[in-house]
Structure 1
Amino acid sequence: MGDVTRILITGANGFVGSACVAEARARGIEVTALYRRAPVAEWASDPGIHPLQADLSDPATAAVLGNAMSGVQAVIHAAAHLGGDAASHAQDTLRGTQTLLDAMTSGGARLVLVSSIAVYDTMQVAPGAALIETAPLEDADHARDGYAAAKLRQEQMCRAAGLPLWILRPGAVWGPGRTWHALLGFRASRLHVQINSEGELPLTHVTHTAWALVKAATRAPHGTPVLNVLDDDRPTRARFLRAHRRMTGWPKLSLPIPYAVWITLVRLLKPLSANLPGLCREPVVRARLMPLTWPNTALRSTLGGEDTDTFEGMLTRSLGGPQ
């Protein structure tokens, strides 16, 4: 295919998508930026960004996209529903993916799918294990939540399409405006309940994520490479909490509960689990809070690269501190 000079990015005005647009433009690659509702204001001043408003959940959009694919050598598919509602995933994630695949069938462009580490079945993994790309996957028909099920089915759809394909599975994507996340426990009034201070947080800063996605878009895949996208410097929960408190003042009050204690309580509550929040159900607890390590060896050996700063440095940048 030669040098990649133009890519199409779906969900281009989202958290990951907009970072991919910025990364591609920093590399001198033109971008067709597909968005559903509001474009990013800064795009108007960059002639290398070609905004395209379209709704992937509408199958008729395939014809519009087919025309827009002219000159496009790679597609980064970042558009997806992020919640747990199965109906929204059926429309936005799965129907949207099928519309994109229909538009790509005759164009010859490669596809970079933004999947997720949510596809792994942590019920089959022991605490303390290193979770890598060959770890067991959830069953899409019996997945712990709608998001995991949709990501599994999305991967299956893209594999079946027969396109040149990269599958990248980011961890918890964080960055400006999104420094806190659901892997840290839960809030009870002004108290933060921190479950487990051991094991690595599977974090990937949004700029590091965009770098990996655009890097993959510029390279022809051999087979169907699957890569977990994770930062090099992955803090423990205790380290994250210390840094976040020092820089933001939150949380002022924290109650640490060992993972072993919490999982025992959750198992005792299993008869009531259907009516309890996610962090009171074992599959969700194991996926979000179980102590694991998350090597990014395959990512680095395949695409190269490295973090642009330490975890604390990236947190400072994300909070608007010195660059």
Structure 2
Amino acid sequence: MKILITGASGFIGSFIVEEAIRQGFETWAAIRRSSSKDYLQDPRIHFIELDLSSESKLVEQLQNCSFDYVVHAAGATKCLNKADFARINTEGTKNLVTALRILQMPIQRFVFISSLSIMGAIREKLPYQEICETDTPQPNTAYGKSKLQAEQWLDTQKDFPYVILRPTGVYGPREKDYFLQFKSIKGHTDFAVGHQRQDITFVYVSDVVQAVFLALEKGKTGRRYFLSDGEVYQSADFSNLIHEALGRPWWIRITAPIWLLRIVTTCGEWIGHITGKVTALNNDKFNILKQRNWRCDITPAINELGYKPQVKLEEGVRKSVEWYQAKGWL
């Protein structure tokens, strides 16, 4: 069976490629000309350059191909301009699916990697409840809006076998955003935002990969599945586990008020536009950090896919630290 994986050089995509190889798929990694192949060294990987910005180019690039499965993991999580999220995450998805349909590709399953961010801050008051399918998404970030728009467009594609996965915060080896917190604590400083209780969720990258292949096998067309490790954590838990895994270096914990974060991210966004470099401190990050509730209900994934989270936060943080240290990141 042949599988095409977009975003193959990225954090999650590269692990999906490895699992596809392990399971015996003829694995095609979709990359850009500028993509790094650092995590794509297996000689059994087939490479294909795809331009997701152009439907016509995709038709040309895919015309001599035939795939049984497609995992669409490509996307942007940080952009200088808000419009770029829609261009990459929404329009890129439209272009890919349209090209596959024009070519009458015999796709058995198309798995789209979306995000819990599409829900937004819909339940910010105590008592917290699980997010369920009856909730109406209200994304409060440009990233979340672009993923939701892609989901909604997929809903218009009749007789197309798509399944949507909505992971919460994904962490693990090779990840670069959460890594900044590891690096900060290694440097003796931990930053937190807001003084109200914050319920957060995580999912280790290997569990996301597990869900991808379960969705390829068992996912119901048109269904959405939230993904987490099944636990709910408080905002300090992640920092405490990182601190423990690093051998308890001395540290200072700083809790900044929300209004100060607003100033910092506004300045970060302004500096990014001046320098032309995307910064992690932007307006989307402000909305993410100020949100107090990141719960999600993974029961459908458990019942329908057979999803069983294998890695809880303590183990995942330890594995991440070991990898970062082995690679000289920490």
Q: Place the TM-score, normalised by the shorter chain, in its bin.
A: 0.7 to 0.9
Identity, in percent, stands at 22
Matches of 1:12 and 1:28 in 2, distance apart? 17
CA contact (8 A) 2:202 2:313 kept: no
Give 1:196 shift.
Answer: 5.1
Matched, 1:169 2:166: yes
Q: How has the CA–CA distance of structure 1 residues 283 and 94 changed in structure 2, closer, same or farther, with 3 Å as cutoff?
A: closer
Equivalent residue runs for 1:132-171 within 5 Å = 132-138=132-138, 143-162=139-158, 163-171=160-168
Q: How has the CA–CA distance of structure 1 residues 282 and 308 changed in structure 2, closer, same or farther, with 3 Å as cutoff?
A: closer
Matched, 1:59 2:55: yes
Tell me the alpha carbon deviations over residues 59-95 of structure 1, each in whole angstroms, 9 at most, x when there is no partner. 332223433541x111111111111532322332223
Structure-2 residue corresponding to 1:295: 297
Structure-1 residue corresponding to 2:206: 207
Question: Partner letter of residue 317 of structure 1?
Answer: K
Give 1:195 shift.
Answer: 3.2
Structure-1 residue corresponding to 2:75: 80
Matches of 1:286 and 1:16 in 2, distance apart? 20
Q: How has the CA–CA distance of structure 1 residues 183 and 215 changed in structure 2, closer, same or farther, with 3 Å as cutoff?
A: farther
Structure-1 residue corresponding to 2:272: none
Equivalent position SS for 1:218: helix
In structure 2, list runs of 5 or more residues that go unmatched.
270-280, 326-330
Structure-1 residue corresponding to 2:245: 247
Give 1:245 shift.
Answer: 1.1
CA contact (8 A) 1:170 1:230 kept: yes
Instruction: Give the number of aligned pairs.
Output: 301
CA contact (8 A) 2:121 2:140 kept: no
Matches of 2:296 and 2:145 in 1, distance apart? 21
Question: Partner letter of residue 205 of structure 1?
Answer: Y
Q: How has the CA–CA distance of structure 1 residues 238 and 299 changed in structure 2, closer, same or farther, with 3 Å as cutoff?
A: same
Q: How has the CA–CA distance of structure 1 residues 15 and 65 changed in structure 2, closer, same or farther, with 3 Å as cutoff?
A: same
Give 1:119 shift.
Answer: 0.9
Q: How has the CA–CA distance of structure 1 residues 119 and 182 changed in structure 2, closer, same or farther, with 3 Å as cutoff?
A: farther
CA contact (8 A) 1:169 1:227 kept: yes
Equivalent residue runs for 1:312-323 within 5 Å = 312-320=314-322
Equivalent position SS for 1:96: helix
Question: Partner letter of residue 70 of structure 2?
Answer: V
CA contact (8 A) 1:192 1:251 kept: no
Give 1:274 shift.
Answer: 11
Matches of 2:40 and 2:285 in 1, distance apart? 41
Matched, 1:101 2:100: no
Give 1:246 shift.
Answer: 1.6
Matches of 1:215 and 1:174 in 2, distance apart? 20
Matches of 2:284 and 2:39 in 1, distance apart? 44
Question: Partner letter of residue 157 of structure 1?
Answer: W
Tell me the alpha carbon deviations over residues 110-160 of structure 1, each in whole angstroms, 9 at most, x when there is no partner. 21111111111324553322223332212xxxx533212211111122222
In structure 1, list runs of 5 or more residues that go unmatched.
none
Structure-1 residue corresponding to 2:226: 228
Matches of 2:231 and 2:135 in 1, distance apart? 21
Q: How has the CA–CA distance of structure 1 residues 149 and 300 changed in structure 2, closer, same or farther, with 3 Å as cutoff?
A: same
Structure-1 residue corresponding to 2:277: none
Structure-1 residue corresponding to 2:37: 40
Give 1:161 shift.
Answer: 2.1
Aligned residues: CA RMSD? 3.6
TM score, norm. by length of structure 2: 0.77
Structure-1 residue corresponding to 2:21: 25
Equivalent position SS for 2:135: coil
Matched, 1:308 2:310: yes
CA contact (8 A) 1:10 1:33 kept: yes
- Deviating more after overlay: 288-297 vs 14-23: 288-297
Q: How has the CA–CA distance of structure 1 residues 222 and 45 changed in structure 2, closer, same or farther, with 3 Å as cutoff?
A: closer
Q: How has the CA–CA distance of structure 1 residues 123 and 246 changed in structure 2, closer, same or farther, with 3 Å as cutoff?
A: same
Give 1:286 shift.
Answer: 7.3
Question: Partner letter of residue 195 of structure 1?
Answer: G
